[in-house]
Structure 1
């Protein structure tokens, strides 16, 4: 009678240690990524308004391009973790190399498309006559770093699958420091202006990619894994990534629709929406760190054939997601009066944002469940279900969001709709995990 509770407590402690060991470094590396853009913004901002506006347009395009290919990290993490669980480290590294080769091919394709069309793309996004030349310059140069950025995504997935989130943290910190130093030196020291900022970022990105490649190559030599491109493996990596690409594009569509609706509500509403969205994204980093741990841990358990271990880990991570969501919600409520003045002194914007922030705070436990279960199903390689679930969520969210300007309620109603969106996601993910259909054991799904 007493042994079963003791075993459960021991199991929970083991899961807790694994979650913390993977999630804390993952959170650090996730937070380091937007710091690249912040450093560029701070340095370029002193060159002038037109340069800063150009950076804003170009960086938005670049971040969108990279976010579309985030499946390179997610799919690679799950596939590699399964091989690790099965005890086949050679195949795990080989699987990771397929993802890296896919990243290089996709990166080369993006460069081939963007370089000759950079000016037209900038015009399409409505850059002013003053900002457009700077945006085009930054975009053309920074495009050369996209293959490196995609390699970093894929290689990060390899290391996460190998249960290593510390190396990505160290590389991200080193990359941030190098990026800041290079940008300052090239922009001001070499007097290259916004081009210097772009070149500094490209150099830092390729430096990060080379470090990752060195780590993966060392693992390949240790376990005798082939480094040559394998057409079948690359094709399999691409096929595994397609459902996750659909999922990501659907989520991006939801965020774009929300922003478009906020813009129709008025200047104060769109300003408040951007502030709240930035906070929502920051909170997502903390929850996404647990999801990343889920991808690695669940993939390993399933690869080892331990279905019960996967269920227990899933249950414990959901508890973590709820707990972290509650803490984040409380922090939002407590820091509300101090948070808004950091972004605006406009009393109208503050009045619009305050009730919407309360909704964000109350929805954090829901977000915690969503992020965790999303990571669990990614770790299980259940991409097709995630794609269909997100398409369903988009179908539910879109008409409700578009009715907000008609029915009234302003920004508060819009963020209530965002909470509805997260609730739909939670229900679809909960139903899937409860069904057990995601539990497919073995080195491959």
Structure 2
């Protein structure tokens, strides 16, 4: 490592990347186990998973906002205040989780019905969802507790918990779905129960670490209404930011579907898009690891009032983003001719996937910088600007994506990679070059 900040970035980003990759394994393990029960069960799991991922995805601010706030307090030299703020974030997670769980139990049927699946699939999805919603509060607590630990510059503990949580999830899924010895399996409900138990155990492990730290520093474990309200207010713009990102992905999928409907190979285009998006999402985990390091380091430095240090580390992390993007882009381009064989036996899909992946590969360096600067501004507590910037980017991108829908799958992906990601880059660079986000002190704006 050339510089001390390189070691710090790698120390935080390495475990963060591994933990990010471990997160989707909960559902992948469920899919692998449930898939052997039958296609209707697997389809039901897929629908329920979309609902759960949407709820949890919208609450990712519990991790991001908590990271920024705790890191600022830490940088200001107030570890007790940092943990107290983290505890308020945990209570907010409990509050949101309780409301979401009740709504999920009441609305499981209507939410599943929106997808218009066959009755058998709908029944399986509803059964799974009504059990799985019991894990929403633990999942949100995991987000908030992970944010606390990241703010304290600890990304290793969330990694350890994620690994053991996934191991427990796999073991419980196999045992509860298929049974063991004279004990009969529960089928699909067993998968939901196993996941909930694993989520509860993971949340408990993270909470123990945070609670012990709070007690050690003399921080109160009781909720402070003002602190909880402050955490909620800080989360609103981050929710808007997340909604704009998800809306852009939905627009992309709609444009692909619209274009495919006008062409002869509709199923080929849609299947190719799904595979390409899966690979794009995986590479996003790689690049987002540096963004998580950016959140933690930026918050701590601004909390300490070190504007010059923040600028210097931001420049270095942008270089990391570019470098990471170049590496992932080269690897993706080199592997593009063979990746399709891992996912499908359809030669038409494999052939269509190559040019899409080459376009995605060209956009990796841009994505690397976008993710880093997004993390920097989240760490700075600049959620309001990120929300406004997300809306502007969506307004710019959506018409372009729909306009090129008839030009084919590659054209839509070119619009996403160069117009959407390019617009995000322009918005973030504009902010990063100014001084408005460089607000120092322990308190977030």
Question: TM-score over 0.5 for the alignment?
Answer: yes
2:131 matched residue in structure 1: 141
1:94 matched residue in structure 2: 84
2:113 matched residue in structure 1: 123
Q: In structure 1, what is the Cα distance between the partners aligned to 2:310 and 2:443?
A: 15
Q: In structure 2, what is the Cα distance between the partners aligned to 1:138 and 1:187?
A: 12
Matches within 5 A, 1:323-342: 323-342=323-342
Q: In structure 2, what is the Cα distance between the partners aligned to 1:20 and 1:208?
A: 25
1:436 matched residue in structure 2: 435
1:158 matched residue in structure 2: 148
CA offsets 1:410-443 (integer angstroms, 9 cap, x no match):
1111011111100100011001000121111111
1:347 matched residue in structure 2: 347
Matches within 5 A, 1:158-237: 158-189=148-179, 190-237=184-231
What displacement does 1:72 show? 0.5
Contact 1:247 1:386 in 2 (8 A): yes
Matches within 5 A, 1:416-427: 416-419=414-417, 420-427=419-426
User: Helix, strand or coil: the match of 1:131?
Assistant: helix
Q: In structure 2, what is the Cα distance between the partners aligned to 1:244 and 1:394?
A: 15
What displacement does 1:114 show? 1.1
User: Helix, strand or coil: the match of 1:145?
Assistant: helix
CA offsets 1:269-291 (integer angstroms, 9 cap, x no match):
11110000000000000110000
In angstroms, what is the RMSD of aligned CA positions? 0.9
CA offsets 1:139-193 (integer angstroms, 9 cap, x no match):
0000000000000000000000000000000000000000000111111114100
2:263 matched residue in structure 1: none
1:69 aligns to 2:59 (yes or no) = yes
CA offsets 1:119-140 (integer angstroms, 9 cap, x no match):
1111111221111111011100
Q: In structure 2, what is the Cα distance between the partners aligned to 1:345 and 1:167?
A: 40
User: Helix, strand or coil: the match of 2:371?
Assistant: helix
1:271 aligns to 2:271 (yes or no) = yes
Which of 98, 112, 122 is the matching residue for 2:102? 112
Q: In structure 1, what is the Cα distance between the partners aligned to 2:140 and 2:107?
A: 20
Contact 1:297 1:379 in 2 (8 A): yes
What displacement does 1:261 show? 1.4
Q: In structure 2, what is the Cα distance between the partners aligned to 1:164 and 1:129?
A: 46
Which of 389, 409, 412 is the matching residue for 1:411? 409
User: Helix, strand or coil: the match of 2:438?
Assistant: coil
Runs of 4+ in 1 over 4 A off after TM superposition: none
Q: In structure 2, what is the Cα distance between the partners aligned to 1:394 and 1:351?
A: 30
What displacement does 1:117 show? 1.4
What displacement does 1:405 show? 2.6
1:372 aligns to 2:372 (yes or no) = yes
Contact 1:353 1:411 in 2 (8 A): no
* Structure 1 stretch displaced more, 383-392 or 255-264: 255-264
1:29 aligns to 2:22 (yes or no) = no
Q: In structure 1, what is the Cα distance between the partners aligned to 2:98 and 2:178?
A: 31
Show structure 1 runs of 5+ residues with no match: 1-9
User: Helix, strand or coil: the match of 2:120?
Assistant: coil
Q: In structure 1, what is the Cα distance between the partners aligned to 2:400 and 2:369?
A: 23
Show structure 2 runs of 5+ residues with no match: 261-265
What displacement does 1:349 show? 1.7
Between Structure 1 and Structure 2, how many residues are aligned? 433
What displacement does 1:404 show? 1.7
Q: In structure 2, what is the Cα distance between the partners aligned to 1:298 and 1:53?
A: 42
What displacement does 1:348 show? 1.9
Which of 248, 252, 256 is the matching residue for 1:258? 252
Task: Report the TM-score, using the length of structure 2 for normalisation.
Answer: 0.96
What displacement does 1:351 show? 2.6
Task: Report the TM-score, using the length of structure 1 for normalisation.
Answer: 0.96
Contact 1:76 1:158 in 2 (8 A): yes
